[in-house]
Amino acid sequence: MKQLAAATVLAAVSFLSFAQSWGPRSLEELKQETIRRAERNLGPLAGTKAEDAREAMAGLHSLEPDEWAAVWSRVGERHLQRGDYYQAWRSFNVARWPSERLSPGKQRAYARALEAFQQYARSLAPPIETLRIAFEGAEIVAYLRLPANVRPAPLVFGINGLDSRKEEVIAQADAYLKNGVGVFALDMPGTGQAPILVDVGAERMFSRALDYLQTRPEIDAKRIVVQGRSWSGYWAAVMAYTEKDRLRGAVVHGVGIHEYYSPEWQKKAFSTREYLFDVYPARASVYGTKSMDEFLAYGPRLSLLARGMLERASAPMLLVNGERDSQQPIADLYLLMKHGDPKDVWVNPQGGHMGRSERWPDGKVRSEVVEPWVLRHLENRGQSPISKQATE
């Protein structure tokens, strides 16, 4: 029944018509950069094996979306046959990158990624629970993973970014679980299995998920922090305003809240080399727009300045990014910082998107900046703090 529901969602996908990769790399440059990122454990190749990247790139002969999907899917099928569900999921996940909405081959790869992830999830202890939450005649598909011996458990409400998916969010839950904290993960609008596209008011999907979580006695509904990453930093900021009474805090990791949506910034960001390829198609896919003019006109309505949110009271926020981010303007972080309630801010002067740099790779930013802040805000005030021994 679950497989049927997933297939129904996938069948409803309307493919955007992008015949070739949106640079800025040539085919040979793309192949070299893909291998380099796999060797250094950098996104979107983090978690994949370098030898798998070399194998896939040896078979890549064009920039067509379906060829990228095919070479990585072959690697995924090999891992699946060997029973290595984690690497199978990782390979299929790269195959559908940056969006399953861009071609039939990427859609098929995404379906295989979901299948492999379910098999991987069943092997974990504590397990990952798949949730299906009724929403406007459809459903929100989400994951929940709770620490073994903490009830009710505080919770991180995790949202994926533009090109990551909820599977990646829940797969990074170990640090929280070891500290007695559960993780809930769902796809942001316009991505994965989300039932709606990005639009003004799409945050109602997250509010519905919060409603559901409050019905679960295993969860301490008074101790929830939302964690956004990259594009979903926007949703974390929105929730800090709209759900301030139900959240202990919001991590806005990667901050695009106003200038990001301007046509001027979007045109500039299309040439970023931080993004591997297909940045415009990926961004257009979350709106469902079909032309450049439609895309550029769609975004400005989402600005939090235009929506009148910036002076409103909010839940505590942590703002994180790099001064040299070429995907989201650092000016948006400072704009958010200077309005409304005081906020905690961490900016890497040498950092790119998400604050990452050679000295501050993704894992270090998460473990030394984001996760400690989250754990502090989830402490049970007036009682014992969350402990690393909570699940031992």
Q: Which residues contact 163 (CB under 8 A, 6 or more apart)?
A: 44, 97, 98, 99, 191, 230, 282
**Residue 348 CA to chain centroid, in angstroms?**
21
pLDDT tens-place values along the chain, 392 residues long: 333 333 334 444 556 655 556 778 999 999 999 999 999 999 999 999 999 999 999 999 999 999 999 999 999 999 999 999 999 999 999 999 999 999 999 999 999 999 999 999 999 999 999 999 999 999 999 999 999 999 999 999 999 999 999 999 999 999 999 999 999 999 999 999 999 999 999 999 999 999 999 999 999 999 999 999 999 999 999 999 999 999 999 999 999 999 999 999 999 999 999 999 999 999 999 999 999 999 999 999 999 999 999 999 999 999 999 999 999 999 999 999 999 999 999 999 999 999 999 999 999 999 999 999 999 999 976 444 444 333 33
The answer to whether residues 341 and 313 touch, using CB atoms and an 8 Å cutoff, is yes
Give the pLDDT score at 28. 97
Distance CA 371, CA 177 (A): 11
Give the chain's domains with CATH numbers: 20-118 (no CATH), 125-377 (3.40.50.1820)
Q: Residue 270 CB: number of other CB atoms within 10 A?
A: 15
Exposure string over 121-139, b if 16+ CB within 10 A, otherwise e: beeeeeebebbbbebeebb
Q: Which residues contact 50 (CB under 8 A, 6 or more apart)?
A: 35, 38, 39
Angle made by CA atoms 192, 108, 170, in degrees to the nearest 5: 35
Q: Residue 354 CB: number of other CB atoms within 10 A?
A: 27
Tokens encoding 228: 């956004």
Q: Is the pTM of this model over 0.85?
A: yes
First-last CA distance in the chain: 36
Q: Residue 384 CB: number of other CB atoms within 10 A?
A: 8
Q: Can you give 178-194 as a three-state secondary structure string?
A: HCCCEEEEECCCCCCCC
Q: Which residues contact 172 (CB under 8 A, 6 or more apart)?
A: 366
**Residue 195 CA to chain centroid, in angstroms?**
16
The answer to whether residues 198 and 160 touch, using CB atoms and an 8 Å cutoff, is no
158: β partners = 185, 227
